Amino acid sequence: MPAYLVSRAADPLLGLLTGLFAYRLWETDAKNAHLRPEGRSLYALLGRFARGEAPPRELYTGPAARV
């Protein structure tokens, strides 16, 4: 029988929320600012997805195309 942290249904949700929180912390950390070009934040991605927009072509060409 598998052991669960919270419950069978809540463990995947807990994992997802923990991952989103960790990414948000990384995204707002000033030490990582040079790794985050403008327009490549999680909020920008979710906003474009909600509006059905394609990402700007400049994000994948030019100086902001760093991976």
Q: Are 27 and 19 in contact (CB under 8 A)?
A: no
pLDDT score for 16? 93
Mean pLDDT score, 11-34: 88
Over the chain, what is the mean pLDDT? 82
Distance CA 64, CA 61 (A): 7
> pTM to 2 decimals?
0.58
pLDDT score for 1? 65
In the numeric block, which tokens belong to residue 21? 């929180």
pLDDT score for 8? 84
Distance CA 59, CA 65 (A): 5
Per-residue pLDDT band for 7 (boundaries 50, 70, 90) equals confident
pLDDT score for 24? 87
Distance CA 13, CA 19 (A): 10
